[in-house]
Structure 1
Amino acid sequence: MDSVSLSEVTAIRRTHLGFMHSFRQQFSGVPISPKFCSSKVDGPKATLSSNTKSQSVYGGNIAATADSGYKINGVNLKSRTLISSVKERLLLDAYDDEYGGVIVDHGKLPSNPFAFASMLRASLSDWRRKGKKGVWLKLPVEQSELVPIAIKEGFEYHHAEKRYVMLTYWIPEEEPSMLPANASHQVGVGGFVLNQHKEVLVVQEKYCAPSITGLWKLPTGFINESEEIFSGAVREVKEETGVDTEFSEVIAFRHAHNVAFEKSDLFFICMLRPLSDKIIIDGLEIKAAKVNVIKKIAVRVSNNLLECSSCTY
């Protein structure tokens, strides 16, 4: 049997005993024996021997073989391979990103919070030793009980969606964090639909601030994720008024700050050519819609509205 250094045996034994001290119950539904191995010291080297004939460790069944080796799930292993395997099972599954950091595989997170806490601490030590930088930890909403554990270990909130929360950790203490911040902007669009009679399509919103109640405005809205600006304008007009349109060009935009959720806001006005003229309003958002003749247009974009001077409504 291969001999291993005393430091290796001591390290894995200390890690195992510390790990077992936190767990007196099952680890992910697999019984764990409190006795994993014992070491016999002979000078600067030590050998690893089985303390029982067969033991279950972290989901794998380990048994001593006749030639002083080991079997895990029926596969013959030497001691050094065994130690490496057990060390890996103590760490979170993760893969490297393009910038010297790691991304934790959220699909392979342990279900037991105590197991997660122990594996997270061991993983951070391992990543720090390997010189890793940023850590991305995505926690599904089904495992939200893991969030305070990660926060306690020093992780910070990055962003949240309906199905998950993203946390980050910057390892190098001597360097400022280079992890990109959360999205800084939201993008809105408005459709300036002008027909051959110089009539523009306008709407009244069903729910709005008292100061703009009854105001006629362009159909507007926010673009969806991975949606082009011109596609968003065409979609919003269709949803609010039922009118089909074709994109012509962007005619105006404005950039504002500290808008919703203290984010910046980009708003684009797109010139659209109508392909149909039948108006069918969206009763959930729109109170009324119509077309009006515009004699002269002076455009000023403000608060997601296209204000027109010398307009006849």
Structure 2
Amino acid sequence: MLRSLPKLSPLLSSARTTNIPRFLANSLRFVSSAQTITRTKTSTGRIAMTTRAPIRPMSSSTVSSITAEDHVQQPKLLKSTDDDHDGVIVEMDQPMDAATFVLILRSSISHWKQLGKKGVWIKLPIHLASLVEPLVKEGFWYHHAEPKYLMLVYWIPETANTIPVNATHRVGIGAFVMNEKREVLVVQENSGHFRGSGVWKFPTGVVDQEEDICVAAVREVKEETGVDSEFVEVLAFSRQSHKSFFDKSDLFFVCMMRPLSSDIQKQRLEIEASRWMPFEEYSAQPFVQKHDLLKYISDVCSAKIDGRYSGYSAVSTSSSFSDQKYYLYLNAGALKSSL
């Protein structure tokens, strides 16, 4: 009986041309896919067939691999956070070649457009300056620059651009420091507009980022003259000028200060001379009398000395928008009398 078992290949061949049952033909094809078939006779006289290379079912990992290949790979997107005005902020950090960056940028803008986003802010640290050119070519423009980064922006919708412009103003202070002898602290500058003019003026300076006006006044007096002082009042918001510093506007506040020391140690880099001068002598300078702005400031200071004028003191307050402390400048005396 064992010798009479037909060979498999003729059976498979005939299965293609004869009308044998389909399930038998499929079974034969399955058996023929094994690498080697061995026919043996068991102790009961039955015939058993085994293969040297067992046929295993398809693993789940193989199925997963096929599934992943069948799907279109999702494009990479730039990591972003939402702002409060339907825009996104991207803070770049990792180096990236320009070609790859442009592809990811285009996919990201398309994604943000589908989400209804408007403005795109991309913050580039200085070590990624090579990405400035591809950003500009994709339609971004400069918004502002700081020592460690450059900010570029882009407007997605086909509507009027409402991205706010960069900061437009500088804030400056002038410090009116008077002692008990009615002497005012004045300086002569060795640089800038007043260099070599012989004009005696109040210590002045620019408010630093995240610095309050009252704090800046104390700092500037100390830096220019070495005199310690404390803030009393904002006597006047004396000037709003334009096109003064790289096309920016200026806001200038005159602050009354109380001296806490008297010894002068001038700053040699910017200050040519510094002294305590009788207020009347300061006010009588031709330069002060000639310019209306300076004369008004002098009159305000004089009225304050005589008790005929009240400025705006700094009241520490808070806001529900943040945990940061704020100063509200107001006429505290007038407010108290009105309550």
1:214 is matched with 198
Q: CA deviation at 1:162?
A: 1.1
Match of 1:22 in 2: none
* Alpha-carbon contact 1:201-1:289 (below 8 Å) kept: yes
Q: Deviations over 1:141-165 (max 9, x none)?
A: 1111100100100011100111111
CA distance in 2, matches of 1:143, 1:303: 50
Counterpart contact for 1:190–1:304, Cα < 8 Å: no
Matches of 2:224 and 2:133, distance apart in 1: 42
In structure 1, which of residues 255, 260, 280 is the aligned counterpart of residue 265 of structure 2?
280
Give yes or no for contact 2:91–2:124 (8 Å, CA) kept in 1: no
Q: Distance in 2 between matches of 1:215 and 1:81?
A: 81
Looking at secondary structure, tell me which structure has more helix per residue.
2
2:71 matched to 1:87? no
Q: Deviations over 1:9-35 (max 9, x none)?
A: xxxxxxxxxxxxxxxxxxxxxxxxxxx
Give the TM-score normalised by structure 2.
0.63
CA drift at 1:286: 0.7
Q: Which residue of 1 aligns with 2:118?
A: 133
Q: Distance in 2 between matches of 1:301 and 1:130?
A: 61
CA contact (8 A) 1:204 1:289 kept: yes
1:202 aligns with 2:179: no
Q: 1:210 to 1:285 in 2, by over 3 A?
A: closer
The question of 1:68 aligning with 2:60 is answered: no
Equivalent-residue separation in structure 1 for 2:151 and 2:120 (angstroms):
10
Output aligned runs, 1:139-218, within 5 Å: 139-173=124-158, 175-209=159-193, 213-218=197-202
What is the identity, as a one-letter code, of the residue corresponding to 2:170?
Q
Task: Quickly say closer, same or farther: Cα 1:304–1:202, change in 2 above 3 A.
Answer: farther
**Cα distance between partner residues in 1 of 2:213 and 2:293:** 14
1:99 maps to 2:85: yes
Task: Tell me if structure 2 keeps the 8 A contact 1:243–1:280.
Answer: yes
What is the alpha-carbon distance in structure 2 between the residues aligned to residue 96 and residue 146 of structure 1? 22
Contact 1:300 1:308 in 2 (8 A): no
Q: TM-score, normalised by structure 1?
A: 0.68
For the 8 Å contact 1:110–1:116, the answer to whether it is kept is no
Aligned to 1:271: 256
Cα distance in 2, alignment partners of residues 110 and 147 from structure 1: 13
Cα distance in 2 for residues equivalent to 1:80 and 1:96: 33
User: Which runs of no fewer than 5 residues in structure 2 stay unpaired?
Assistant: 1-58, 300-339
- Structure 1 or 2, whichever has the larger Rg, is 2
Q: CA deviation at 1:303?
A: 11
CA deviation profile, 1:146-200 (whole Å, cap 9, x unmatched): 0010010001110011111101101011x21121110010000111000010000
For the aligned residue pairs, the C-alpha RMSD in angstroms reads 3.0
The aligned residue for residue 21 of structure 2 is none
Distance 2:290 2:88 in 1: 44
